[in-house]
């Protein structure tokens, strides 16, 4: 399966002004929250030169990273990030880890200093036919594993990948999963690319389940590509934020309103080293 990045057809915010009251405050403010990045974006660079890669990430103005250092021990990876002013508020786990060894997840998260752990894939039929049985299996695992993590001060967040937007009842299986998981133990990380790719409306979903979304993966999608429910497409369809078809500006406005905790750019393309700085600049240009 090819992983891809997530898109946004973003419009720059316009700061409003009142010409009759020159001293009136603008109704918009520049986006000033810390900007993070998903470590997977640099999967082709970390194995070759982890320290140099972290240096380049730091130079991009990134101050948060999601994910561990691969083969680098968590404690060592944290020290490398700390030395560059980069925190690790969130890391990842596999579905099997969540069901079979949740305490191993807790141990790694504690070593990294992470307070969130995300899972980005529920194993299911390779053809992308995510079923009600798959959804029920996920709900059980999220509730049980999330409870263990919560008991140790870690917030579990599921990262939908697009295939969950199969129609079900009056909504989708994604609606069903959110409604059937315990908010004490299960939160969510929206990947705006995959939500859009699977037919979901990121802005509407953020508003509908505003108390459940805690984290965002910011990714833009090339115009004109075919979308489906497989949860996979060509990584080269990843484009800089604000140049694709996802409404990033609208998403960021709502995200600020509902209090999203952390924002992580993810770019899986071969042009990641050029595109991430463009995405950072775009986010900093937004007025929300």
Question: Pairing mode, if any, of strands 36-38 and 171-172?
Answer: unpaired
Q: Is residue 259 predicted with pLDDT exceeding 90?
A: yes
> Residue 41: pLDDT above 90?
yes
The pLDDT of residue 47 is: 95
Residue 45 lies in a domain: yes
pLDDT higher at 236 or 29? 236
Q: Has residue 3 been placed in a domain? A: no
What pLDDT shows up at residue 27? 55
Does residue 54 register a pLDDT over 90? yes
pLDDT beyond 90 at 21 = no
pLDDT at 10 over 50: no
Q: Which two tokens stand for residue 61?
A: 């103005």
What stretches of the chain show up as alpha helix (H) in DSSP?
A: 50-59, 74-82, 95-100, 102-112, 132-150, 173-180, 192-197, 202-208, 248-258, 272-285
83, pLDDT greater than 90: yes
What is the per-residue pLDDT for 125? 85
The span from the CA of 115 to the CA of 63, in Å, is 16
Give dist(CA 121, CA 163) in Å, integer.
Answer: 10
CATH at 232? 3.20.20.150
User: pLDDT above 70 covers what percent of the chain?
Assistant: 89
The pLDDT assigned to 28 comes to 66
* pLDDT recorded at residue 127: 67
Which pLDDT band holds residue 13 (cuts at 50, 70, 90)?
A: very low
- 21 part of a folded domain: no
Separation of alpha carbons 214 and 176, rounded Å: 18
In a domain, 247, yes or no: yes
pLDDT tens for 269-285 read: 999 999 999 999 999 99
pTM for this entry: 0.89
Residue 251 is assigned to a structural domain of this protein: yes
Specify if 26 maps to a domain.
Answer: no
Provide the number of structural domains found in the chain: 1
* C-beta of residue 181 within 8 angstroms of C-beta of residue 142: yes
* 200 Cβ neighbours under 8 A, 6+ residues apart: 160, 162, 165, 172, 174
Residue 158 lies in a domain: yes
Range of the domain at 202: 36-285
Q: Is the pLDDT of residue 22 over 90?
A: no
Q: Which of 125-129, 188-192, 198-202, 246-250 is predicted least confidently? A: 125-129
Residue 44 is assigned to a structural domain of this protein: yes
Residue 5 pLDDT > 90: no
Alpha-carbon distances, residue 110 vs 20, 103, 113, 166, 186 (angstroms):
54, 10, 5, 35, 18
């Amino acid at each position: 399966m090819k992983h891809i990045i997530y898109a946004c057809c973003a419009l720059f915010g316009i700061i409003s002004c009142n010409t009759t009251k020159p001293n009136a405050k603008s109704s918009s403010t520049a986006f000033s929250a810390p900007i993070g990045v998903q470590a997977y974006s640099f999967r082709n660079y970390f194995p070759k030169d982890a320290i140099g890669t972290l240096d380049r990430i730091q130079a991009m103005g990134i101050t948060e990273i999601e994910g561990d250092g691969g083969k680098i021990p968590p404690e060592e990876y944290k020290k490398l990030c700390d030395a560059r002013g980069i925190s690790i508020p969130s890391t990842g786990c596999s579905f099997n880890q969540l069901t079979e060894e949740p305490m191993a997840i807790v141990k790694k998260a504690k070593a990294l200093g992470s307070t969130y752990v995300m899972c980005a894939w529920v194993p299911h039929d390779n053809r992308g036919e995510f079923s009600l049985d798959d959804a029920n299996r996920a709900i059980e695992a999220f509730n049980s594993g999330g409870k263990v993590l919560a008991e140790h001060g870690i917030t579990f967040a599921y990262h939908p990948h697009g295939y969950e937007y199969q129609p079900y009842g009056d909504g989708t299986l994604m609606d069903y999963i959110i409604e059937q998981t315990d908010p004490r133990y299960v939160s969510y990380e929206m990947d705006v690319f995959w939500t859009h790719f699977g037919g979901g409306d990121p802005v509407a979903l953020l508003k509908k389940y505003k108390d459940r979304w805690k984290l965002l993966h910011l990714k833009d999608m090339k115009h004109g590509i075919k979308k489906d429910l497989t949860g996979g497409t060509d990584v080269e369809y990843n484009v800089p934020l604000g140049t694709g078809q996802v409404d990033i500006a609208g998403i960021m406005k709502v995200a600020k309103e509902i209090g999203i905790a952390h924002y992580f750019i993810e770019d899986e393309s071969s042009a990641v080293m050029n595109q991430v700085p463009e995405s950072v600049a775009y986010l900093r240009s937004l007025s929300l």
